[in-house]
Structure 1
Amino acid sequence: MDRSGRPGADDMRRLILGPSPSYTRRQVAEAAGVPQDLAARVWRALGFATLADDVVAFTDADLAALNRIRDLLDEGLLDERTVIRMARALGRTTARLAQWQAEIMIETLLDPQGRPSDDDLARAMETVTRLLPDFEQTLLHVWRSQLAAAASRLTALADAGDEPVPTRPDLAVGFADLVSFTRVSRELDELALADLIESFESRASDVIAAHDGRLVKTLGDEVLFTAADPPTAAAIALDLVDELRPRGEGPDVRIGLAYGPVLPVMGDVFGTTVNLAARLTSMARPGTIVTDDGMAEGLAGAAGTDLLKLRRRPARGLGVVQPYVLRRADPARRRTQREEKE
């Protein structure tokens, strides 16, 4: 606390991290028996700034983390390159998670429009003290569950192909894009815009998860997702259009779907299939879904879907493509078509 007894940033840091730092970066590396350059690379990969040699900024917990890394290297379980890649994955993901959770808690516990009182800050710290152990345990449980799901997906892809490790697995890729987002964003104040983005991302995330798809990333007015096969991707897209249909005011959504080989890198996906899904999104009208011929072939005979073949058209950087509009099947229309054939 400062001289007035008001809780401050240092108090919150101690509350979350525990005892004050007691090592410089050189001391913590020497104590762990880790080369200075490797320790520096690990901290940078985790997303932490490079500090001067004489700055005391590392704790016993940091020393324990470096000890674990040294043991992994000594036992040959991981090499240095893998350690750095894993550290970077951990750092990037947890940095966003921590920022997101902190913003939610500040919005919940403090008035963002005014300066918090001493009592407000004290109450916030009490709440963090109470919630921190539960958050920590929940984080570990969710991480294990997500790791199990990711490992199961990759194992299934490996079993289905000729290669022992799927370097370019076939996946359905989808982009869901808010229409006229730039215009709408200019008409909203900051809080309303934040609410729009959070609502879009949360509703899209729920639909994708419900069908066992994977939300790869969000880009404000756009979400990128993947699914194991065309029927699953179609179910996600159709439900997204229904769920994200404007309720009074607000932008509509359009979706592009493509099926084919993708390159998974650092949790993201790349390749021609991803680019094609993006191009198809730009072809879609508000409230519609446009697919490529790979999706159309994978949906042939699938229950609950109809495909309308459009004229071939050029897609920037990809040549001429054959798009289709994906819709829910209309039982009445299909019944009429059967009767006409008879």
Structure 2
Amino acid sequence: MGGGEVTGRPTAEQIESLFVGTSPRYTRVQVAELSAVPQDLTERIWRALGFATLADDAVAFTDADVTALRRVRAMMDGGLLDDQTVVRMARALGQTTARLAQWQAEIMIGAMLDPDQPPTDADLAAILETSSRLLPDFERVLVHVWRAQLAAAGTRLLAITDLTEEVVPNRLTLAVGFADLVSFTQVSRELDERALAELVEGFESRASDVVASHGGRLVKTLGDEVLFTAADPRTAAAIALELVEVIRRYGPQVRIGLAYGPVLPMMGDVFGTTVNLAARLTAIARPGAIIVDGELAEAVAQTPGMAVTRIRRRPARGLGVVQPYVLRRA
């Protein structure tokens, strides 16, 4: 491993040596000069990646940082990226990988440590040693999955262009769904921390599996709630119907709201009136029920195995009075 075998409590330097590979050699002024990237841009990139601003004389950058910034410089010189796009890409990369790294670290620690016993120095050293052996394979799998996700994103965009007559830049027509665990606040008070974590992870993992199996996209998870999208409203309806059944078998119940219409994709999330409407429909749904808007109800009305029933009009905060429908299996 990069700093020799760890026998005692790992140090910050040993951890950095393992995962980064090279030791810090440069200040932020030097790394800007060596990479030929303006210092103000390097600082914006560093902040966008999620790292703290350092003093001018702090030696914190490595040869790998210089190499990465030189690649950025080459893309900019080739006219492929401008300053704003570079910073936006850096923010997307930083926020996503920060969550990924934290999540993976928690998984490794949970798998290797006894939750009922405080970790010893030997335990921590063993985690670091195991990480050093797994790191090369993790890195290769990460790149492969990232490429596959890029392909999936491109395929979804292609499907949207096939379903709509016109595609407006930065505006898509999608089915949006919220699935919300019923009585989560009350249940969370009755569970200890470990049981609550198992409840949330169980809900999110099952929801993720259902969404993925139908070719939808899980946009984000919020503990007791998931947000998903699908290019085809019938796909979103199929996801919602299966979600209700899968989560019911698991234990708790969910309520789901679906809406179909224009959305604004931004920073990996989706925004707009359609998203707000789906959230409002979720709020009025009863446990185990799926409430949809008129656009989605019309799209699935003739779909075999699905039935929609109009219910009384309801006020929806910020949206006026809406006409909801209940979606069920036929």
TM-score (norm 2): 0.95
Amino acid at match of 1:173: V
SS in 1 for 2:260: strand
What is aligned with 1:126?
Answer: 129
Compared CA separation, residues 171 and 233, structure 1 to 2 (3 A):
same
Amino acid at match of 1:271: G
The answer on 1:154 being equivalent to 2:157 is yes
Amino acid at match of 2:50: G
Please, which of 60, 70, 78 is the counterpart of residue 67 of structure 1? 70
Please, which of 19, 41, 49 is the counterpart of residue 38 of structure 1? 41
1:166 to partner: Cα distance: 4.0
> What is the RMSD computed on CA atoms of the aligned residues?
1.8
Larger Rg computed on CA atoms: 1
1:80 to partner: Cα distance: 0.6
1:283 to partner: Cα distance: 1.0
Amino acid at match of 2:320: G
1:230 to partner: Cα distance: 1.4
What is aligned with 1:94?
Answer: 97
Please, which of 19, 24, 46 is the counterpart of residue 21 of structure 1? 24
CA distance in 2 between partners of 1:4 and 1:17 (Å): 20
CA distance in 1 between partners of 2:68 and 2:241 (Å): 46
Deviations 1:188-211 (A, max 9, x none): 111111111111101000000000
The 5 Å alignment of 1:216-255 reads 216-245=219-248, 247=250, 250-255=251-256
Amino acid at match of 2:123: D
Structure 1: unaligned runs, 5 residues or longer: 330-342
SS in 2 for 1:257: strand
1:165 to partner: Cα distance: 4.9
Percentage identity across paired residues of the two chains: 70
What is aligned with 1:105?
Answer: 108
Compared CA separation, residues 283 and 30, structure 1 to 2 (3 A):
same
What is aligned with 1:320?
Answer: 321
Amino acid at match of 1:244: I
Equivalent residues of 1:157, 1:166 under 8 A apart? no
Which deviates further from its counterpart, 149-158 or 50-59?
Answer: 149-158
What is aligned with 1:142?
Answer: 145
1:73 to partner: Cα distance: 1.0
What is aligned with 1:288?
Answer: 289
Amino acid at match of 1:15: L
CA distance in 2 between partners of 1:21 and 1:110 (Å): 31
CA distance in 1 between partners of 2:326 and 2:40 (Å): 55
CA distance in 1 between partners of 2:162 and 2:289 (Å): 35
CA distance in 1 between partners of 2:285 and 2:166 (Å): 35
Please, which of 29, 45, 50 is the counterpart of residue 47 of structure 1? 50
1:159 to partner: Cα distance: 5.1
1:315 to partner: Cα distance: 1.0
CA distance in 1 between partners of 2:93 and 2:168 (Å): 23
Amino acid at match of 2:109: I
CA distance in 1 between partners of 2:19 and 2:116 (Å): 25
Please, which of 78, 83, 92 is the counterpart of residue 80 of structure 1? 83
What is aligned with 2:307?
Answer: 306
Equivalent residues of 1:184, 1:251 under 8 A apart? no
Equivalent residues of 2:159, 2:231 under 8 A apart? no
SS in 2 for 1:199: helix
1:320 to partner: Cα distance: 1.2
Amino acid at match of 1:24: T
1:312 to partner: Cα distance: 1.2
